[in-house]
Chains A and B, each alone.
Chain A
């Protein structure tokens, strides 16, 4: 064992591993910053999860009739939050403006317009949810109304009747300002609204996880992949620094072979990444409630291959530069590009097809996709075999090119 390749590799790996933790600021980069990103991105892209705060809607009701209150009643059943009163100094985010005489106009079959006014820059997603909710409430009210109108027409009163294909009169005229009549319509409309729906939709999640997706389900894997990559790329700068300081040269003069040194460096980096991944996954699980899927083995396998791949990239990155100066800026840009295009920043389904395909050019894209298969779908190893193969191939290519380009001396 002593003096063998395995011994040398493990010693180089252990030294690299130890070196990483000597720098106290790495705690921030390896653990705290990714967790902060998980939190921020998770809260900001919350999607449709159960914890989603509902879209807020303030109502400006200029109508005095019952239809507007029916409409609001219907709106309350939708998954939005109606703001009854604003706190002092608070500005409405979105406002539904119900015009004056809304009830009268609708009952008279005159045209009227509801307005949803939103402040600039407010969440587009929430605004769309509000539009849909208002539309659905309108459908409910209107369809009830049509049923009542249909019944009224059957009475054949001349104040509301059809001749050929034209309609004359309206419920309003039929009521003729009679309060009791209006009340009866109100009551009937109410009772129509309480009927059980005929068509319902049961919606479930595919996969075995059966958990509501939340923003964290995207932000936890996204931040994990991005920051593991970042640690690795920055680790590459360490290789260049070792070359400049003569440490690589000295390593080359020890009994360690070139392959021993490369493997040692790779394993040392992978060790750091494992700790990082373990902490981040635990944070994802216990701080943000993200499921880790149903196959721990598959998750570990994917993470091992991903760290191998990024470890290879670290060595390639370190072998490309002659001096460590300016590498930091390039490291940041490389990480940002690979993370953003690989789908770490936003749900990949939101981007166009070309960018979805482009994501697969980067190992980050494969890692994200694989994590979704495990975490979101709850699938097992079989589902990520292609991912394992592709990431391993990426890693191997990075490592081989890196090994070829790596110079021992400055």
Chain B
């Protein structure tokens, strides 16, 4: 449904996307997981036709974004990161306006607005100005705008940014319900659990590069069955290097290392060697195979909110 090949985009000297390629199949929820500034929004902007890539091709529903931008945009629904709503207008007025830009009119337009308002539970507040809404309510209306015309493709750019966990779950439920009808979704987020719970396939993106792509299962296989152990303490790399011969060291520096270990027994042995060598250990953390551990393995850092 969506085919992105070697897309590059730079702002001056800063490369926002350094040649990304991926394919999203019809009816699939494709997650883009990465920290802030990874290039997720730029990718969404290019697929939605807002920005032109410096090079590479984007095909959506067998159309080229450069040639058929308008036709593509008609079948897409976009939910940007910002709450891009007219605060002075009511929720319903906002929906009517944005819906009309997608060709909805008359009864269809009103029906669509009623449907999405019902979906997000805002029917009762629909006639109040958006500025009187809470943050979570605004997010829900922001989402509704993208759902109004029942798009074949839905591009969601961090639609749950800055709201409480309860409201976030609520939004994820709405999206799940909405896409059960076969909508193709690209969903960007920097919340691991969202990607894990919602997405059929996930691309991990950082510094404008896709580091890995696949189903949750495929991704976690990248770290295999092994756990990641991270140790910090008061030691030098010279001191601990000889002690780490039986584990796969991923990263080592003075005062910290990260390594893959087959099981918890191996961790016990490792720590035993440290204690007997008199190496000071401050903190030990163990991550079982998960998206988080994959992320850490790929980027060398944790993905924080």
Contacts and interface: CB of A to CB of B under 8 A. Distances in A.
Query: A and B bound?
Result: yes
Contacts, number: 77
Contact of B105 (A2, A252, A253): A2
Nearest to B101: A254
B88 A253 contact: no
A3 B99 CA distance: 10
Contacts of B97: 11, 15
A13 to B, nearest CB: 11
A19 B73 contact: no
Nearest to A251: B101
A12 to B, nearest CB: 7
A22 B82 CA distance: 22
A64 interface: no
A256 B101 contact: yes
B84 A246 contact: yes
B105 A12 contact: no
Contacts of A12: 101
B89 A19 contact: yes
B84, B98, B104, B105: which has the most chain A beta carbons within 10 Å?
B84
A255 B105 contact: no
A8 interface: yes
Nearest to A247: B84
Interface string B99-136: 01111110000000000000000000000010000000
Contacts of B105: 2
A11 to B, nearest CB: 4
Q: How large is the interface on A (under 10, 10 to 19, 20 to 34, 35 or more residues)?
A: 20 to 34
A237 to B, nearest CB: 14
A18 interface: yes
Contacts of A254: 73, 78, 98, 101-102
The listed residue with most B CB atoms (<10 A of its CB), out of A245, A253, A254, A256, is A253
A246 B103 CA distance: 21
Nearest to A250: B84
Contacts of A40: none
A233 B297 CA distance: 53
B76 interface: yes
Given A19-B86, A245-B82, A247-B86, A253 B48 contact: yes
B83 interface: yes
Given A253-B48, A253-B78, A18 B89 contact: yes
B131 to A, nearest CB: 10
Nearest to B47: A253
A7 interface: yes
A349 interface: no
B70 A255 contact: yes
A23 B81 contact: no
Scoring B101, B104, B105 by chain A CB atoms within 10 A of each residue's CB, the highest score goes to B101
8 contacts: A247-B84, A249-B50, A254-B98, A254-B101, A254-B102, A255-B73, A255-B101, A408-B50
Given A250-B145, A257-B70, 15 more contacts: A2-B105, A15-B89, A18-B93, A19-B89, A245-B83, A246-B84, A249-B80, A250-B80, A253-B48, A253-B50, A253-B76, A254-B98, A254-B101, A255-B70, A255-B101
